[in-house]
Amino acid sequence: MPPGDPLPDTTFGSRWAPLPPGAHELDPATLAPGFEAGSASAGIKHAGETDVGVVRCVAGGVASAILLTANASAAAPVRVCRDDLDQGRVRACIVNSGNANASTGEQGLADAVSMRDAAASALGLEPREVAVAETGTIGVPLEMERLLGGVEAACAAVGAEGGAGFAEAILTTDRFPKSCCIEADGVTLSVQAKGAGMMMPGFATMLCFIQTDALVSDPELELRRAVAGSFERISVDGQMSTNDTVLLQASGESGRELPSGLLDAALLALALRIVADGEGATRVARLAVSGARSAGEAELVARTVGNSPLVKTALFGRDPNWGRIAQAAGMALAGEELPELGPDRIDALELAQPTSEPEIRLDLGRGEASAHLFVSDLTHDYVTLNSEYTT
């Protein structure tokens, strides 16, 4: 069955995430001034693949914010960042892919600390100035000798031209890197992200690293607002990762404030790239729910409908089956009184069109609140990939 038009192959190619007015794109491998990155292969993934990366601020000062998964089975690196990191002054982050270091007990926690400390030593920083992030298979102990060799090599390789290697080093099942660099009003913003599966953030994203030379007076407020309109609005499979981490570092070297909307636009564009790269995905849909009694009700319905395997397979098959949408919305509000949900309240006609980015609209007819969610379809390839993930 044909998937429809090809998914957008540029960062700002989506109908829902255009390049902001007055901004222009630089090479996506470019890092914001005052930042360097490096990468190396430690043999954690397949032989020869880069799987360790580091990004650091070399400017005189830095203001930062970090958001971490709400998953109760949070991985060791997340716990290290929660408990032993100067979250407002993060100068560097060391990352590995191929192993999540999650559900690995006290040894896993000690390994994350060792990884962090090795990077700090190599970069000449205090350990609490270095964040640590990991992604990959859950429940497998790290091969520390290999990993520490990769940490040393990645730190030795840092430079202003290291953005492309860093963006590659953080990938797991991703089909392509997700990075961008944009400039507006004398400010540069660079972002590298990864994510394809285990995707329904409960706070932020999978892994995402943001650098800017702008002045940011309240990095946490700025980051939370941008994330609320981007990574909090996506789902691939309704699964919250154990390792979700998003880090914003601002050097202030430009002497200019971060232009309004610049961070929001960049994160939304990359969030949509993540959904488009959902494991086996061929289409991205925007599900818009209106007429709810509260924001919480609208959110519940949007996520229940958007994560329904019946709705997601209809998205894949270009089947405008509004009955599946009505069923899922009714399930979300079980026990409540709803107006009958039929074609007058559900617009699923774009599902039948060849576009890779259809929109679904659902009016609950109960109030004034609304919510939206970006979701991928569910394909044969998703089952194949995830049934063979560790074998």
Active-site annotation, residues = 205
Rg of the chain over Cα atoms, rounded to whole angstroms, equals 21
Tally the C-alpha atoms within 13 A of residue 210's C-alpha that lie toward its C-beta.
33
Q: Are 348 and 322 in contact (CB under 8 A)?
A: yes
Are 220 and 40 spatial neighbours (Cβ–Cβ below 8 Å)? no
Q: Distance between CA 86 and CA 185 in Å, rounded?
A: 30
Ramachandran angles phi, psi of 335, nearest 5°:
90, -10
Contact between 227 and 74 under an 8 Å Cβ cutoff? The reply is: no
At residue 48, φ and ψ (nearest 5 deg) are 90, -15
Q: What angle do CA 367, 372, 374 make, to 5 degrees?
A: 160
Find the distance separating the first CA and the last CA of the chain, reported in whole Å.
Answer: 28
Q: Are 92 and 232 in contact (CB under 8 A)?
A: no
